[in-house]
C-alpha cells in the first residue's frame, strides 16, 4: 500500500531532551516536507527536500533540523525541544517538485505526530 508513515504518533517529552520524528514513504517520491499544525494558524511548512541531500527552509525552520540521506526517509530532529514546539506535525511527500513537477501532482500526508513538550 502506498503510504507515508511517521513515528512516533504521540510523544510527550521534556524541555531540552533531543528527539527525532521519523518519516518514510514507499512511493519513490522526490519531494518531502514537514509541516506543523497549530490551532488558529493552520499548517506551516518547516522544511522541505526536493531530492536526496537537498533540503531547504520553509516558513518556520527555527529549532528544527532535517536530513535526507535516502530518498524514502526524511527525519525531523528537535535538538533541544521547547514548549512552543508542542504541536501536531505532518510529513508529506509528492512525486516531483519545481519546474518539472508532474501536472496533477499533489502531496500525500502522513498520519501525524502529536508532540507535547513539558
Partner 1 sequence: ELKVEQNPLFLSMQEGKNYTIYCNYSTTSDRLYWYRQDPGKSLESLFVLLSNGAVKQEGRLMASLDTKARLSTLHITAAVHDLSATYFCAVDIVIGNTPLVFGKGTRLSVIA
Residues 6+ apart with CB under 8 A from 33: 45, 46, 47, 48, 49, 58, 74, 91, 92, 93, 107
The stretch near partner 1 (CB under 8 A) out of 22-30, 38-46, 64-72, 73-81 is: 38-46
Give the nearest distance from C-beta 6 to partner 1 in angstroms.
Answer: 9
Give the nearest distance from C-beta 85 to partner 1 in angstroms.
Answer: 19
Q: Is 110 in the site for partner 1 (CB under 8 A)?
A: yes
Q: Is 27 in the site for partner 1 (CB under 8 A)?
A: no
Give me 87's grid cell: 504541536
Cα–Cα distance, 96 to 93 (Å, whole number):
9
Q: Is 111 in the site for partner 1 (CB under 8 A)?
A: yes
Query: Strand, coil or helix: what is 16?
Result: coil
Q: How many residues does the chain have?
A: 118
Q: Which stretches of the chain bind partner 1, using CB under 8 A?
A: 33, 35, 40-45, 48, 50, 56, 58-59, 90, 92, 97-99, 101, 103-112
Amino acid at each position: 500500500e502506498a503510504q507515508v508513515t511517521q513515528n512516533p504518533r504521540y510523544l510527550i517529552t521534556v524541555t531540552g531532551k533531543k528527539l527525532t520524528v521519523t518519516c518514510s514513504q514507499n512511493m519513490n517520491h522526490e519531494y518531502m516536507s514537514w509541516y506543523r499544525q497549530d490551532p488558529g494558524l493552520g499548517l506551516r511548512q518547516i522544511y522541505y527536500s526536493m531530492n536526496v541531500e537537498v533540503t531547504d527552509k520553509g516558513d518556520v525552520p527555527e529549532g528544527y533540523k532535517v536530513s535526507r540521506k535516502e530518498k524514502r526517509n526524511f527525519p525531523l530532529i528537535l535538538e533541544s525541544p521547547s514548549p512552543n514546539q508542542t504541536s501536531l506535525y505532518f510529513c508529506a511527500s509528492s512525486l516531483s517538485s519545481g519546474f518539472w513537477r508532474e501536472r496533477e501532482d499533489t502531496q500525500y500526508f502522513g498520519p501525524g505526530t502529536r508532540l507535547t513538550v513539558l
